[in-house]
Amino acid sequence: MTKKAFLLAYPAGHSLSPYMHNAAFKALGIDGYYEALEIHPDDLAGVIDGFRAEDVYGSNVTIPHKLAVIPFMDELSQAAKMIGAVNTIINQNGKLLGHNTDASGYLRALREDGAFDPSGKEVLLLGAGGAARALLFSLLQVKAKVYIQNRTLSKAQELAENFKSLGNCEAIPQEAIPSLMPQLDLIVNSTSVGMIHKGQVSHESPLDLDLFKNDLKTDLMISDIVYRPAKTPLLTAAEAKSLRHQNGLAMLVYQGADSFEMWTGQIAPTQVMFEAIHLVIH
């Protein structure tokens, strides 16, 4: 019996997940198949109910469904509860567990691919949306001090309020960033600013690039969850300043690897998954 896993998205055509998961199934000799489903929000309930079938491992979940799927879950993991979003659904003998591997995937990407340990570090988190929630959760788990900046300050304040019980985080206005720059160890873009949109390359940055002219720590790490293009304006500026930097590709692979392992019970072949994606985007 071929067992299937899916991606719930809308739209879904841009996804790289099928390439890396199908390569992983093949590498391990698993009779499995992964497919991206473009599902309109109105059709979500019926599709998710089908995930209870015996031949379904579960699903990944991305924009715009990460919050919408929660009412259809039988149970939520602690991470999903705390983050307030689900990116992985696991079929446990007909019962659906909602989990979130974005947080664990991000930490693993920073440590293994970026050679950066955020434990106890001072971090500027740009953005206050769904991705920011997962990244903030992961950073607070390792005792980082996180400053949250968002175009709409009230959203950053709300996020900080929601997560303050987990650790040291605070919302800051944009004008506070220049004085903060010299003490930062990590800057994280959790927004889609800089992403290729409808084939158009963006020249936008979520951070004023003139700030890189400030006195900065030589080991400052710039992390951008965008992976298309591989080098956003933010990362290009970091490279010009000879700062360490990382795009979102490793996070994509490692969050997917965590999902794969929960579905199959086998260690994900991450090198194979990276290679499968590189074949597509290069």
Q: Is 66 annotated as catalytic?
A: yes
Q: How far apart are CA 98 and CA 40, in angstroms?
A: 20
Structure tokens belonging to residue 166: 């987990």
Residues 123, 107, 87, 224, Cα dihedral to 10°: 50
Q: Using alpha carbons, select from 130, 132, 128 the residue that is nearest to residue 85.
A: 130
- Token pair 């980082």 is at which residue? 144
Q: How far apart are CA 157 and CA 250, in angstroms?
A: 29
Q: Looking at 3, 4, 26, 66, which residue is catalytic?
A: 66
Side-chain half-sphere of 165: how many Cα atoms within 13 Å?
3
Q: How far apart are CA 263 and CA 58, in angstroms?
A: 7
**Number of residues assigned to the chain:** 282
Q: At what angle do helices 17-27 and 249-264 cross, to 10 degrees?
A: 50
DSSP 173-212: -GGGHHHHGGG-SEEEE-S-TT--BTTBPP---SS-GGGG
Structure tokens belonging to residue 273: 């998954």
**Catalytic center residues:** 66
